[in-house]
């Protein structure tokens, strides 16, 4: 493989004007390593929802830009993000995915840290040189940690723009799904985790707005209940459906109920919950939820979400991280959320049905993972890489944004175009070109 470390040698991976994207970037290990440096250590990354660590001492272990980290609440309930590696010989302090700890103790030599990451003792303090600054030997702290509506983000770059600026106009689309009631949302269970033999960008692109794959990839689930599929208009998007693109590569697809369907084809949120939405949402945001059949979206680079109907008056909000492992493999983390004000029965139903559709063994998930793995395998050879992927259906619409959408950002019709996907790749290409 050609060494991609020199910017001057970088090939044209994304040709927005022609609607072409190189297959190489979905399989190549040098591209993967460059992504770790140019993207995953320089931009905001989602780590967890605050409801996963509700009490003092609660912790989670996650990865930030490929680096193992600990999220933990200290004695004052502040959240810290610390590198999960002892300052002595580098061993991981926390081996479990979650738990509660009074201290963080290294299992190798016993170095002990407080919940705030400060060094408490090395257990051999007396052998250190006189005047040693033990305060300088605390756990490495992630320099930027910020929260939006319960979603915890972090970044290794101390000079990164604020999270508020980074989310920008896209925050308007997040609020109706993560902050639509006064108490907000909560995670209903630990995330399901699995590995897929596919590049992380495939998942991010699929969720930012790939409406073209539904009738072919997911023909199985649709044929399991063809009457409901027809009555609910799964095969036909409403005329006011849009793709939305905002700065920094974020995007989503809003798919509404098709016109002319029976009045009972769509069951909205439970009335007791829906009555709460006006307390936190603006009129246009609340209007956006009306007859919204499904939304899928991606916050660049690798956080995606979907809200979809899973039962009568039951909506599941699902969060998804596409965690890069290599050029040809990713780990998927998937959560189901619901309103804190919802009943226990409602939460149980949403959790069960949400994972049934979009969990590790979900009916839709199995379809996607098999296709993505086959695409990765078929593209991982020098012959296939001579022929770029096609994003041509974005080209007729990219310069023709819709003017009748009430929300912020740039809106595009039809929802089955590839505008949001190509704009995602444009942002990826911009970041990969930085020094």
- d(C-alpha 34, C-alpha 157), whole Å: 16
CATH number of domain containing 232:
3.90.380.10
Look at residue 308 and tell me whether its pLDDT is greater than 90: no
Q: Are residues 251 and 303 in the same domain?
A: yes
Same domain, 272 and 293: yes
- Does residue 306 lie within any of the structural domains? yes
Q: What is the CA radius of gyration of the chain?
A: 23
Same domain, 242 and 295: yes
As beta bridge partners, residue 144 has 155
User: Both 147 and 219 in a single domain?
Assistant: no
- In this prediction, residue 254 carries a pLDDT of 94
Q: What is the pLDDT of residue 364?
A: 82
Task: Say what percent of the chain tops pLDDT 70.
Answer: 91
Q: Is the pLDDT of residue 263 over 50?
A: yes
Label residue 312 by pLDDT band (50, 70, 90): confident
CA distances to 13, 22, 52, 394 from 379, rounded to whole Å, are: 15, 10, 38, 22
Residues 124 and 220 in one domain: no
User: Domain end: 137, 159, 181, which one?
Assistant: 159
CATH number, domain containing residue 91: 2.102.10.10
Of the three residues 125, 159, 193, the one that is the final residue of a domain is 159
CA distances from 169 to 288, 360, 410 (A): 15, 32, 10
Same domain, 192 and 286: yes
Which of 159, 194, 223 is the last residue before a domain boundary? 159
Residues 376 and 249 in one domain: yes
Task: Give the other-Cβ count within 10 Å of 190's Cβ.
Answer: 12
Q: Are residues 149 and 176 in the same domain?
A: no
**Is it the case that residue 62 has pLDDT exceeding 70?**
yes
If one counts the domains in the chain, the total is 2
CA 430 to chain centroid, in Å, comes to 20
Q: Are residues 242 and 187 both part of a single domain?
A: yes
| pLDDT value for 162 | 98
- Is residue 13 in some structural domain? no
Residues 174 and 107 in one domain: no
Which domain, by its residues, includes 414?
A: 169-432
Residue 15 lies in a domain: no
pLDDT at position 8 is 46
Quick one: average pLDDT of 177-186? 96
Q: Is residue 23 part of a domain?
A: no
Are residues 142 and 194 both part of a single domain? no
The mean pLDDT value of the chain amounts to 91
CA distance 382 to 249: 29
For 141, which DSSP code?
B
Nearest in space to 146 (alpha carbons), one of 137, 155, 134: 155
Q: Say yes or no: 181 and 50 in one domain.
A: no
């Amino acid at each position: 493989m050609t060494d991609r470390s020199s910017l001057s040698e970088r090939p044209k991976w994304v040709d927005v004007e022609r609607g072409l994207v190189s297959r190489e970037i979905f399989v190549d290990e040098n591209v993967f390593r460059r992504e770790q440096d140019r993207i995953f250590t320089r931009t905001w990354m989602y780590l967890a929802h605050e409801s996963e660590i509700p009490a003092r001492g609660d912790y989670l272990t996650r990865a930030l830009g490929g680096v193992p980290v600990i999220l933990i609440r200290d004695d004052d309930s502040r959240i810290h993000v610390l590198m999960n590696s002892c300052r002595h010989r580098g061993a991981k302090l926390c081996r479990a995915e979650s738990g509660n700890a009074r201290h963080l103790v290294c299992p190798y030599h016993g170095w002990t840290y407080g919940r705030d990451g400060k060094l408490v003792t090395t257990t051999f303090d007396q052998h250190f040189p006189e005047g040693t600054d033990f305060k300088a030997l605390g756990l490495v702290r992630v320099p930027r940690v910020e929260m939006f509506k319960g979603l915890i983000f972090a970044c290794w770059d101390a000079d990164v723009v604020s999270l508020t600026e980074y989310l920008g106009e896209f925050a308007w689309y997040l609020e109706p799904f993560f902050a639509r009631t006064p108490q907000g949302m909560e995670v209903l269970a630990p995330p399901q985790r699995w590995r897929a033999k596919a590049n992380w960008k495939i998942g991010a692109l699929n969720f930012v707005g790939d409406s073209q794959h539904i009738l072919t990839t997911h023909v199985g689930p649709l044929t399991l209940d063809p009457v409901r599929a027809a009555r609910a208009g799964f095969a036909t998007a409403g005329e006011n459906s849009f793709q939305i693109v905002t700065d920094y590569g974020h995007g989503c697809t809003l798919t509404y109920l098709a016109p002319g369907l029976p009045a009972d084809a769509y069951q909205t949120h439970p009335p007791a919950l829906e009555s709460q939405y006006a307390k936190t949402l603006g009129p246009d945001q609340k209007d956006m939820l009306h007859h919204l059949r499904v939304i899928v979206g991606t916050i660049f680079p690798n956080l995606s979400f979907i809200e979809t109907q899973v039962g009568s008056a039951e909506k599941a909000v699902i969060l998804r991280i596409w965690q890069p492992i290599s050029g040809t493999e990713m780990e998927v983390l998937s959560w189901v959320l619901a309103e804190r004000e919802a009943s226990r029965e409602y939460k149980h139903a949403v959790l069960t049905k949400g994972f049934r559709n979009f969990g590790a063994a979900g009916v839709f998930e199995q379809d996607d993972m098999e296709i993505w793995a086959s695409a990765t395998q078929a593209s991982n050879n020098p012959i296939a890489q001579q022929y770029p992927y096609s994003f041509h259906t974005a080209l007729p619409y990219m310069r023709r944004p819709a003017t009748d959408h009430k929300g912020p950002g740039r809106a595009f019709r039809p929802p089955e175009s590839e505008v949001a996907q190509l704009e995602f790749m444009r942002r990826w290409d911009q970041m990969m070109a930085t020094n």
